[in-house]
Amino acid sequence: MKAICYKCGDYKPSAWKRCTGCDYRPVGDDEKAKSLFCSSHFKSDKELELYSKHLKAGKSLEFKPKDLEVVTVVLNSKQNHKRQEKIYFLKLIGAFLLTIAFMVIFYFIQSSK
């Protein structure tokens, strides 16, 4: 993923990385959404280049509430996805531990006979 810093227009490898140009790093949902909006995830290379030039000329970017809404939806679904992965992983560990517990119980039942 390619992204630009929406503060100074420098390119950075990913949206939420610290900018090497101005040392700005997005914090919080709003800033993260703005940063993600200025990345190849949402914008073409050409658009990013335009944004970069615009920012480098000393102008600032205007974010429309609607644009950020779309980004926030994507952001939330990503976070939900991560949470679901975590739950799945915990279930897997739970099932594994349960299997071992059953094996141990089974072993003791067998050996006490």
Q: Which stretch binds Zn ion (CB under 5 A): 12-20, 41-49, 66-74, 103-111?
A: 12-20
Asked if 72 and 29 count as a contact pair (C-beta separation under 8 A), the reply is yes
- 19 touching Zn ion, by CB under 5 A: yes
Q: Which is nearer to Zn ion, 15 or 19 (CB)?
A: 19
Letter string b/e over residues 68-94, b meaning 16 or more CB atoms within 10 A of that residue's CB: beebbeeeeeeeeeeeeeeeeeeeeee
Positions in 20-49 near Zn ion (CB under 5 A) = 21-22, 24
Which spans of this chain sit near Zn ion (rule: CB under 5 A)?
Answer: 5, 7-8, 10, 19, 21-22, 24
